[in-house]
Chains A and B, each alone.
Chain A
Amino acid sequence: MAPAPTGAPAPTGAPAPTGAPAPTGAPAPADPPAPADVAVPPAPGEEAAPPGPPTFRDRLGKARSLFGGVVTSLRARGGVDAATWEQLEEALIRADVGVGATERVLARLRERVAAREVAGGEQLVQALRQDLVALLSGMPAPGANGGRRPPAPADRSLRFAGASGRPDVWLFVGVNGVGKTTTIGKVARQQVALGRSVLLAAADTFRAAAGDQLATWAERTGAEIVRGTEGGDPSAVVFDAVQRAAARGNDLVLADTAGRLHTKVNLVEELRKIRRVADRDPGHVSEVLLVLDATTGQNGLAQARTFTEAVDVTGVVLTKLDGTAKGGVVIGIQQHVGVPVKLVGLGEGPDDLVPFDPEAFVDALLAG
């Protein structure tokens, strides 16, 4: 298996040549089977997947409006007055952007308005959009004076080294109930469609029936699965999975872990160990994905910090964005923890996972 280049940016929203789901990994290794040739059986009772790749904009647009709300109202207003700022503040806070971040964004915008760089109406809307997109892209916002952090454009690709005999391991972590297991199912679906051989590691040995839940996804997606004993050592499951993947030539191990509150020190320690074990020869941890529920408020920042400090999170999967929650806390996460959102979950089905698109995200955030 020829090694694929690491860190190559994923095409965001670019259509795949055929009706396969949008590729989220680095460009596939040379001579892969074309995605369309890999038959992925639909889940029982499910219709065949609709043609065309689901883009963030498409899917989110179905769930809710990408228009209206403060954007429309601002466009209608000519000038900029106290009510304008109030409306903007309200929109951002309601989107879970957070008080501090909202204040900073609006302060910058105010400066630009005062400096006559930006007028009201459409200009103001665009300026705000630009700011937010910049923040999400890991760049300092336009007009910001340097900023403390060197610009580090967010890398949203899913890293896959594909070295022969060294299976890549993608670890899924997060607090309870965020959608780790379901996300793994969706990722498995996509990776299998890319022609990779996927092994699921049921390293959630705590939650009742967690193994069964993941096994169902294995069945649905054509991935294999390694399970452990209930109540057993999760690191042992990961170890077994990596060994088996190396022996059988699986490309990718997707490891599920038990949901754990980041405040539980011993559980975070356990997670550290899991990562260490996963990263030992022949395994290679190329992604640690923090699964985050879009309904989460400011606590999301604390979660991101703790998990990143413990196991070096490489990306966020923002789930349940098809609801009414806006997920604005990811802005703070990019800014303060430096972790980009790589994927977005938009439903409970196997195809409900798309690459993150900052512009569509911001549009939805500001919309009604």
Chain B
Amino acid sequence: MCPGSLSFHMFDALSERLERVAGRLRSRGRLSEADLDEALREIRSALLEADVELGVVRRFVDSVRQRCAGEALSRSLTPAQQVIRSVHEELTRVLGGETLKLTYAPRPPTVVVLAGLQGSGKTTAAAKLAAWWKHQGRNPLLVGADLQRPAAVEQLRILGRQAGVRVYSEPTDPVAVASAGLEEARRLGRDLCIVDTAGRLAIDEELMDEVRRIAAVTQPHYTFLVVDAMTGQDAVATATAFHQALDLDGVILTKLDGDARGGAALSVKEVVGRPIVFASTGERLGDFDLFHPDRMADRILGMGDVLTLIEQAERAMDRDAVEKSATRLMEGRFTLEDFLEQLQQVKKLGSLGGVLKLLPGVSRELRQAAGQVDDRELDRVAAIIRSMTPAERHDPSILDGSRRVRVARGSGRTTQEVNALLKQFREMQKMMKGGAGGMTAPAGLGRLGGLLGGRGGPPAAGLQELLSGAADGGRSPGAPRQLLQGVKTGADELAGSGLRPGAKGGARNKKKKGGRVTPPKAR
């Protein structure tokens, strides 16, 4: 895993956790067992939070421990990052391993049976598979053997139409349909026969027996378990039962376009020992591709968060407001009104919480600073400014004694606090007019943050850092803008990395309304 790659950024959240816990790692030359244990406890939590099954987590952590124990400390990575690198490598290894090389039956058709719990996405996956293969120049037949769910066959027919693939079904019983479907595929000279089955509970003996019989009459070349990426601890029990009944060949992971960490992938892979073959990443027929273990590893460790968090960040930041304020700052026309605006944006930054940690393009210092900002401080300063009239905000020089008293009363603060705010703001304005394009101003702005602390210490400093953009030497006009930039960079990088198939130029993957599921474009 090269440090320059996108995935490296994503470990920051986890690595920060580890840094806090395992600060002592630095002092030794080797990764000692005790220190490693502490680091692995964090990893354990992270994996459980990602829904990896408990037994799988235990075994996994043990194998990482063996990998890491006694390892010499790397020169380029911190010890925490080194542990994570091992975790990532091990994760990728377990998730990947031998990929399934799809081969086709010497005597067509190649039969594929899909099984799984209710709602896992089998019917959609069946259609997607058909479309995927059709795209490769093959000639599949879809067989609708889900006679349990109302209109399931109808759904498959509609999807089949969209994919340009014929669907066979009959209102008899699932085993008969499967058998007849296979016959039909042979009759039509199809090279693939994809059988969709009804969702069923692994503990439902009757239905598990039924799916065994479906397999018996069709003799599938591939039996795939369809698993929802948001499945929790139950993934193992279900996968184990289906595997015992059907001897699975592989797994299709669905609904990866959500923000579930997807630990179920690791659980199922580890327990069943068969590869995850396909990843379904959306509701459109084309949202379907071969599974990528390294991307999944990143996701399980927390990278997946970034996708939705970028969307959240975009929503939270009012681009225009930020840009306007930033421009005024640069031009030395910064007023208390602007300052109020910046404060509000900063508050939103705080509400993003963990987002900041995960965004590429956002410096560590900024993240730390944002983490220390105290909402109440922001509120106090904002309250004072809000108690002023627009005229007063625009031109604070008109604030005489009685006005200041009024402002203080109105905001529930003391006149001393109001005076201090105004004084600092004046100094800041002076500096800005004097400084080149507002470059030196940020430091002054930042001091405003320290005004009402009274407690001093980190929180005030945090606000200062944040507003001043002092984190990067005042190069950028304040944190909100930097965050926006980080958001944009993140979105671009992720779109470029192909993590979201079909996403171009932005993290938003707009669903076409009014349009239905469309067949994949020719590649």
From known contacts A230-B516, A323-B117, infer whether A295 and B228 are also in contact, taking CB-CB under 8 Å.
yes
Interface contact B307-A320, CB-CB below 8 Å: no
Interface contact B315-A179, CB-CB below 8 Å: no
Which residues does chain B contribute within 8 Å of A177, judged by CB atoms? 118-121, 228, 255
Interface contact B148-A94, CB-CB below 8 Å: no
Which residues does chain B contribute within 8 Å of A264, judged by CB atoms? 257, 509, 511
Residue of A nearest to B312 (CB): A265
Interface contact B230-A296, CB-CB below 8 Å: yes
Cross-chain pairs A/B with CB under 8 angstroms, 25 sampled: A93-B54, A94-B54, A99-B49, A175-B255, A176-B283, A207-B155, A208-B516, A208-B517, A209-B151, A210-B151, A231-B513, A261-B257, A263-B257, A263-B311, A265-B315, A295-B117, A295-B235, A296-B228, A297-B264, A299-B260, A300-B230, A324-B202, A324-B237, A326-B234, A348-B149
Kindly identify which residue among A96, A208, A266 contacts B234, using a CB–CB cutoff of 8 Å: A96
Q: Does B45 contact A (CB under 8 A)?
A: yes
Nearest CB on B from A318, distance (A): 13
Which residues does chain A contribute within 8 Å of B119, judged by CB atoms? 176-179, 293, 320
Kindly identify which residue among B49, B202, B311, B315 contacts A323, using a CB–CB cutoff of 8 Å: B202
Q: Which residues of A contact B (CB under 8 A)?
A: 63-64, 90, 93-96, 98-100, 175-179, 206-210, 212-213, 215-217, 230-232, 261-267, 270, 293-300, 302, 320, 322-326, 329, 348
Which residues does chain B contribute within 8 Å of A324, judged by CB atoms? 201-203, 234, 237-238
**For the complex, what is the distance from the CA of A116 to the CA of B53, rounded to whole Å?**
33
Interface contact B255-A320, CB-CB below 8 Å: no
Which residues does chain A contribute within 8 Å of B264, judged by CB atoms? 297
**For the complex, what is the distance from the CA of A293 to the CA of B116, rounded to whole Å?**
14
**For the complex, what is the distance from the CA of A179 to the CA of B232, rounded to whole Å?**
17
Interface contact A297-B117, CB-CB below 8 Å: no
Residue of A nearest to B158 (CB): A208
Interface contact B234-A295, CB-CB below 8 Å: yes
Instruction: Count how many pairs of residues, one from A and one from B, have CB atoms less than 8 Å apart in the complex.
Output: 159
Which residues does chain A contribute within 8 Å of B118, judged by CB atoms? 177, 179, 320, 348
Most buried by B among A100, A177, A207, A213: A177
Interface contact B155-A297, CB-CB below 8 Å: no
Q: Which residues of B contact A (CB under 8 A)?
A: 45, 48-51, 53-54, 117-121, 148-152, 154-155, 157-159, 201-203, 228, 230-235, 237-238, 255, 257-261, 263-264, 283, 307-308, 311, 315, 508-511, 513-517
Which residues does chain B contribute within 8 Å of A216, judged by CB atoms? 150-151
Which residues does chain B contribute within 8 Å of A208, judged by CB atoms? 154-155, 158-159, 516-517
**For the complex, what is the distance from the CA of A265 to the CA of B314, rounded to whole Å?**
11
- 7 nearest A-B residue pairs (beta carbon): A297-B232, A177-B119, A297-B51, A216-B150, A208-B158, A325-B234, A212-B151
**For the complex, what is the distance from the CA of A253 to the CA of B307, rounded to whole Å?**
36
Kindly identify which residue among A63, A64, A95, A320 contacts B233, using a CB–CB cutoff of 8 Å: A95
Interface contact B511-A96, CB-CB below 8 Å: no
From known contacts A64-B203, A175-B230, infer whether A231 and B514 are also in contact, taking CB-CB under 8 Å.
yes
From known contacts A293-B119, A295-B234, A297-B232, infer whether A323 and B203 are also in contact, taking CB-CB under 8 Å.
yes
Which residues does chain A contribute within 8 Å of B159, judged by CB atoms? 208
Residue of A nearest to B58 (CB): A90
